[in-house]
Structure 1
Amino acid sequence: MIVSNDSIKLKPPYQITSKILSFISSISQKIGEINAKHLVKANPQLRKQNQIRTIHASLNIEGNTLSEEQITAILENKRIIGPEKDIKEVVNALAVYKALSQLKPYSEKDFLKAHKLLMTGLIENPGRYRNKSVGIVKGTNIEHIAPPYENISFLMSDLFKYLKDKSELALIKSCVFHYEMEFIHPFLDGNGRMGRLWQTLILMNELPLFEFLPFETLISKNQEEYYKALSTSDKQGNSTPFIEYMLGIIDYSLLELLENNSKKLNETERLEIFLETNKQEFSRKDYMKHYSEISSATASRDLKNGVQLGLIQRSGDKKTSLYRKI
């Protein structure tokens, strides 16, 4: 668990292994390639699709029976037939993801707010830490005895203090938080969902592309490995095995994103992405600065196409042309 030293720095126990360093290097390389190719914004439906996949995967791990198609229907306010509890879990998860951009990953208050959104109507006192002792049982074996409920408040407070340590990489912090939160098991229910959700939020805060990375689908496909990594870390008394496991999941998810979005952007997609992320008025020079790999002739064609499609308006002569979003 978290320990403190004379400098009042709180740090959960783990070791940086060669495997961890290798994954961090590989992940950083892939993130650079994804950003350079503007892949995460190439498809306007990507955010919605990944939100559905993430919710489906995270709830599936917890036994929810609804399909991606049913979750999509709920998102589109359509009626579906299914277990009332499963539908409520999806409705709550959608509410959390809708509020995700307003939640601060380093705020314990927001953490409790997210749990309340996630578990309202499913348990008593959502958004509050448990007030009784719990253990995780698998079959006839007690897999994990969580710390006494009297200790939860200061353990979680220490964990959030650790999150604010700017000397730690977000990739590492997100994995450590996920494991330590599962170890503390602060809620009577919803701990797994909250651990995975908060890891995503920590990563999104540092690296926005993680909003588009449904790495929980990989966890869902092989849940045994997920629980094994948690169990191994428990036995070793540190989060090192879980960090290695989660970094491997993230690395593979980034590889999938690269492979599934390897096509080149066309002129319309390039301009639409530019318009999403840039100022209201711009020049061809601004456009070429954003896309340093394209020629001036390609930039001119993109902008001419945008005018014809009604995406932008042009003013001024050829040398001083300015473009505005419509």
Structure 2
Amino acid sequence: HISIVDSWFEKFKVYWDDYDYTSEHEVDKNLFSQRLGEFLYSPEGSKYRLKNFRFNGTFNCTGPAPEVLVSTFEYKHNALYGSKQKIGAMEDVKSVIRNLNFSEFVMPWARSYSNWETDKIIEIELYRNISMAMIVVGIMTLALIASVRTSFMVLLCVIMTLIDVGGLMHWWGLTIDTVSCIDLVLAVGLCVDYAAHIGHTFMIQIGSLNERVANTLGKIGPAVLNGGFSTFLAFVFLIRSDSHVFVTFFKIFFAVCLYGLYHGLVFLPVLLSLIGPPPYKTVERNVVNTKEREYLNCLDAGATQKCLESEYIEDKLKDSAVRETVIM
């Protein structure tokens, strides 16, 4: 992965080849400093003096070089395409340096390495953070809705919304970076609202599955739609921004609102109409108690035509043989 290495040390050895510097025996420290100072002021080594060394002091062309604090070698990578190639090249350089067993601190450094290091861990971080957010959302949804089946369906809507958002990100040319990762984790908490309200309202409706879904959409559907649309209005002006941060925020949250509303108002109701759970037992008991009170009130007041419009009261009247006293 390395195309060019510009090492002052190799040039230094060639420059002092006449002094047997390349021999196996150890060179005296004072002699090394004297020769290094002369080399760094020579035509071959002058380019390294300012950009590749930091000394503990100053020196001139006739004096020995001071103690070397830091020195660097320059190298260039081959043309690299994609994060996998870049990460592999960076790790290969690190491996080579580790295997050389330098006695002092040595590390490869480049401005682009900071981005490559981010690419190296960001995928794991993204999956981990989204998974943790999904676990928390699942626990809270289960605690508040109190229905395993409904909570699972709500969580399924969140997962499918995130998958659709990822697809639209790819179509829009967005990549996984720190900005998009933060937005995706935030999206988990945003898109759960659209499905959770539908699921909770469905649990407090009575009747057949289709009737409960219809009542749910009639009662909470407009509020969910208004909530999604008002959220869209809150960030719509970011579409004109030139900032990568704001443009990414707009694109991801637009997708969250779009697919969140779709799964909350279309996909989840269809799913509930097919395999939805029964309503809360407390809701059924409250409905029965309310109808019983209506039935007793009708008996006290004398059953009227208005009372007979209720199927429950009519059935109760038939069962108790009170229908004979009804005043038509």
The TM-score bracket by the shorter chain reads under 0.3
Higher relative contact order (CA 8 A, sep 6+): 1
More helix by proportion, 1 or 2? 2
TM-score by length of 2: 0.23
